[in-house]
A = this chain, B = another copy of it.
Amino acid sequence: MIENALKLIEERKFVELARLLKEENAADIAVLLGEVEETALPVVYRILPKELAAETFVEMDPDRQELLIRSFSDRELREILDELFLDDTVDIIEEMPAGVVKRILKNSDAETRRSINEILQYPDDSAGTIMTIEYVDLKRDMTVAQAFDRIRKTGYDKETIYDCYVTDASRRLLGIVTVRTLLLSSTECIIGDIMDTNVISVGTHDDQEYVAHQFEKYDFLAIPVVDTENRLVGIVTFDDAMDVIQEENTEDIEIMGGMTPSEKTYLRSTAFDLFRHRIPWLLLLMVSATFTGMIITGFESALAVQVVLTAFIPMLMDTGGNSGSQSSVTIIRALSLGEVEFSDLARVVWKEIRTAVMCGLVLAVACFLKVMLVDRLLMGNTDVTIFVAAVVCITMALTVLVAKVIGCSLPMIAKKLGFDPAVMASPFITTIVDAISLLVYFGIAKLLLF
């Protein structure tokens, strides 16, 4: 489709283009609009039918949205804003520079403007910021037939009509009734009798991650958002929850990779953005590697006698680091999926100890064979005595044990203390394990070799 469309644009065959595009999905047209030349962008966009144009606008990259808004007349802007769901408008506003935001607010009607400002005041990443305020509300004394009438009358500009919310006069949430229930009930039934009163809702200030977890747990289409007095203020739909899940996953992965999380996609981030998110951890970890250096300096005289020991430092450090990060990454993920809680600590540590013993034994044996066969026989390094090999292998096994215990327990403790467990991933664990493995290494070396 995209090649076709680009060709039509080049040949300026806009009538054919219009025919082609009106059958397409908004998401696909947004991809196309990301590829047309900047000068052609407003022309192609204006070809789209009004509703499709609004849907496409939401799917576009923020840079492209900004270009378009700047090319719009006030009337055009107003028309697009009228078509947008409020949560989408808020998403767009959050990405735009101040000048553009001003124009958007100026061209929204008073009520929308008030709602936007309200939503913008909710804390970052709270349910309030991702909710939409367009939902279908019903009254408890309506019949099913009346409910359908209301859905038909008010449903056209709602993001979902399939979950309907039953509220009282002061907008307090009484229950939920799905269109499925409505369809499968007789038309004379009273809403109050068929609505589900066991409503799971979230508060406006609840974290979006918590909201997304409710979706995973209950397979909702939408979840109602209430204020502190249980008054319905909006709903979060499953597609927004899906976005949140992906955002939170990205954040976890970034933090585990030793970066401060960023909200921009990779290609939209400048080199300086990347630098800003990466340098703090690099500096911190570099400085903390001082301790490892100090340990080595402390054993410098011993090392001068047995330089051969130096050759095994990278292998020991890497294996320790890898063992630790395996455990920490596994536990961080399990914590974030809610599979493991702090109360499982003893169970987790015990499981990791048994795993570590198995891994440690296999690694130690493999390492012993490797050192004796490759380093001593094959490479003919006679400094590598059986004692050296023993020191290396015992250190290996102990390091794996320590690494796994630290790797699994630090994230759980961090979570208990209210920190993000993802911070306790590889880079952090590696630094700690490095220091410990060197201490063990030189300690055992002293015992066996000097």
Q: A274 an interface residue at 8 Å Cβ cutoff? A: yes
| Contact with A25, one of B161, B200, B362 (Cβ below 8 angstroms) | B200
| Contact with A289, one of B253, B318, B333 (Cβ below 8 angstroms) | B318
Task: Tell me, rounded to whole Å, the shortest Cβ–Cβ distance linking A362 to chain B.
Answer: 6
* Nearest B residue to A241, CB-CB: B242
- List the B side residues contacting A450 at CB < 8 Å: none
Provided the pairs A183-B148, A300-B307 are in contact, do residues A426 and B245 lie with their beta carbons within 8 angstroms? no
Provided the pairs A180-B155, A359-B275, A430-B321 are in contact, do residues A218 and B27 lie with their beta carbons within 8 angstroms? yes
- List the B side residues contacting A200 at CB < 8 Å: 25
A23 and B330 alpha carbons, distance in the complex (Å):
36
Q: Would B310 and A278 count as touching, CB distance under 8 A?
A: no
22 contacts between A and B (CB under 8 A): A27-B217, A27-B218, A179-B179, A216-B243, A221-B221, A238-B242, A242-B245, A252-B253, A259-B326, A265-B334, A265-B339, A267-B339, A270-B351, A271-B352, A271-B358, A272-B358, A275-B358, A279-B358, A294-B379, A297-B381, A313-B314, A317-B317
Q: A258 an interface residue at 8 Å Cβ cutoff? A: yes
A154-198 contacts to B, CB under 8 A, are 155-156, 161-162, 179-180, 183-184, 197-198
Query: Interface size of A by Cβ–Cβ distance < 8 Å?
Result: 118
Which A residues are within 8 Å of any B CB, using their own CB? 23-25, 27, 148, 151-152, 155-156, 161-162, 179-180, 183-184, 197-198, 200, 215-219, 221, 238-239, 241-243, 245-246, 249-250, 252-254, 256-259, 265-267, 269-272, 274-275, 278-279, 281-283, 285-287, 289-290, 292-294, 296-297, 300, 303-304, 307-308, 310-315, 317-319, 321-323, 325-326, 328-331, 333-334, 337, 339-340, 344, 347-348, 351-352, 354-355, 358-359, 362-363, 366-367, 370, 374-375, 379, 381, 396, 400, 426-427, 430-431, 434, 438
